[in-house]
Structure 1
Amino acid sequence: MRSGQMIRGIVLLFASFALLAFQGEAPAASAKEIDIKVNAALKRFTKEVGGADAFLAEAKGVLVFPEVIKAGIGIGGEYGEGALRVNGATVVYYSTAAASIGFQLGAQKKSVILVFLESAALEKFRHSDGWEVGVDGSVALVELGAGGMIDSTVVNKPIVAFVFGQKGLMYNLTLEGSKFTKLER
């Protein structure tokens, strides 16, 4: 085996390990804990983003991950737990996980909100066994327009996402490769 192939194999092995570690038997939040954090994330979203209340009122469903932790040293992974809300009520809990390889060092915490604007997109998501962004469905990542308002050019997409960091909406992020899996709570 050539050294380049061996290095790639080792990197893939560590990436797989990192992803499995995030999905392992870590202390999971209770349904009540998740719901409290989801409420806080939605409150922050509507406070910081102009037009968010009206936008959410039109949603067929909203998937909220209040805390997604991403960490890495060359090889990274992220994990978070959240809830899908339909008509304002939690209908099922989900986890999100992703692995990455590349130049990275450190950790970050972010909140992710996916808004389903079409019933067909929501139903496809709800009936999937494990849904992956970019494979099972396309998600438009929203950037705020002038004055902190929702950019209306992406509102016509079936699924739109918002990613918040500690200091507001984060730029140049992707959700590609993020996998969502139902949780038993």
Structure 2
Amino acid sequence: MRRFLCLLTFFFLCLTASAQDLSQLNQGQADTLEAGMLVLGGWAIINILFSSFKLTKATRSRKYFYQMNVYWNIVNLLIASFALYTILSKDSATLSLSDSLYLHGWYKKLLYLSVGLDAGFIMLGAYLKEHSRWSAKAEQMQGWGQSVLLQGLFLLLLDLVLVILLETYTNDFFQLVGKV
């Protein structure tokens, strides 16, 4: 009977330690994503305010550059707001291991997709700038191309940093699978 109680106590302590580790991993991942979305939201707000101010005085291609910055960052602000709401509304302490693994994989897939889209945005910006050479709307194409290129580069940098940070959690999540 004594062995059984010792074994049961050991098993309970292992489960409690795993739950604490899982909760900490989930919280760390949520904090990383939250910080990323705060950076994106801050970038969007700064861009909207600065570009709106500069738009009132800009002419030629700079006018279109600031115009596209405002449009682009309204979308960025909506994305950051929705993502923050989603991240903050989940209680990471209550997630099971399978739910945690699913969310971790989903976040990584979403970020890898976003990296691909960012590369597409960079190519689109380069295309618009090149298209401005022979277009009847040369100033518009040049301004929009510069803006899309800038925004794509920023988003690529942000998404790559988030992917790298999330990849550091992958090993820890799978080590918990081995403990179960």
TM-score by length of 1: 0.26
Structure exhibiting the larger radius of gyration computed from Cα positions: 2
- Larger helix share, 1 or 2: 2
Greater relative contact order structure (CA < 8 Å, 6+ sep): 2
